[in-house]
Amino acid sequence: MIESWRWYGPFDTISLAEIAQTGAAGIVHALHEVPYGEVWTREAVAARKAEITGAGFRWDVVESLPVHEAIKRGEGDLSTLFANYRQSMANLAAEGIRTICYNFMPLLDWTRTDLKAPVARGGTCLRFDTARMATFEIHMLGRTDAEGDYPEEVLRRAAAWFQASTEGDRDALLHAIMSGLPGAFDRYDIAGLRKALKGYEGIDRDTLRANYRRFLEEVIPAAEDLGMALCVHPDDPPRDILGLPRIVSDEDGIGWIMQAVDSPANGLTLCSGSLGANPANDVPAIARHFAARIRFAHLRNVAKEADGSFEEAAHLDGDTDMVALIAVLLGEERRRRDAGEDFAQIPMRPDHGHDLLHDMERESFPGYPLIGRLRGLAELRGVARALEQAG
């Protein structure tokens, strides 16, 4: 696997020189400064690539080339947005970047309720607390019918938390939920989020799937022509949020996408943490099932709780058997090499890490500290080396 590291460019407090000391060979990056729906010019791509390669790295994967909300809603004349997306793809391909990670989550990307949950032996982690999410939806957002999405015990705890919370507590909860949009230009307050949700009224699972199929039909033929792969990232968390349907949460959902436009260019970002937060998902089994379509891997772990809550675990310590999962990925790489296939190596990055030691004194994007991810990369590297030597 190609050991990679997510870097936020001019927005990142972690420098390329520091990343070099982690041992990572590749950079995963996006032009976060470009508003959604606008073209990534070849000049801008080339300039950023020169910065990355000049520091001794490869730029292997774009994460993410965002899908505009109007495309997800299927709203209005989308011809310009589709054309802009294809042109951005062409400009990336012209600079030798051929793997694009993206997601099709309505409105919000990854969602957490706590950005600094304490870890048992010190440090902090990201956490999704079902009762806090219920508090937000019912008592702060006032979403109609939200109570029907939660069991009675969760509703009781949500009401108790809201009654005991301060304005600062509620502001922190809103901030945490909005923090899954790195580089995005939309950050909502309560009124703004209510307005944004109205744009999705009447859009159910089938409608979202239809809009997604249309997107794939518009961009996958271009990816084939350019020798690229688009790799969908699973929903995080893998459940409906804010009454919005999520359709990339399990094996069935991924299978539908792969068949919607059946092409090697229609690929998968295997995110062990996103899929692992669904108790019904066997992540190594899902990886085996879709191995031929995996073009990129996010390796992280989560510890789940009975009510649907979960938090980021150390990379080798959560509910997913990371050794078994890495064995699947290495086996797929061997198969590709033996078959002489393109994209034989799978870029991998340590996803989300605990804030450890000096991480807690340094501002960074939530989930993306230096030391916590360095620990994760070292652990994953050790597993991969051991498996490779064992044959």
Classify residue 310 by burial, with Cβ atoms within 10 Å: 0-12, 13-18, 19+.
Answer: buried
Q: The tokens of 289 are what?
A: 């099932």
3-state secondary structure of 59: strand
Using CA atoms, how far apart are residues 284 and 180, in angstroms rounded to an integer?
26
The whole-angstrom separation of Cα 253 and Cα 213 is: 12
Residues 6+ apart with CB under 8 A from 391: none
Which tokens in the block code for residue 250?
């399990």
Give the DSSP letter string of 340-355: T-SS-S-EEEE----B
Q: Catalytic residue numbers?
A: 233, 271, 298, 351-352, 368
- Contact between 269 and 140 under an 8 Å Cβ cutoff? The reply is no
CA distance 82 to 88: 10
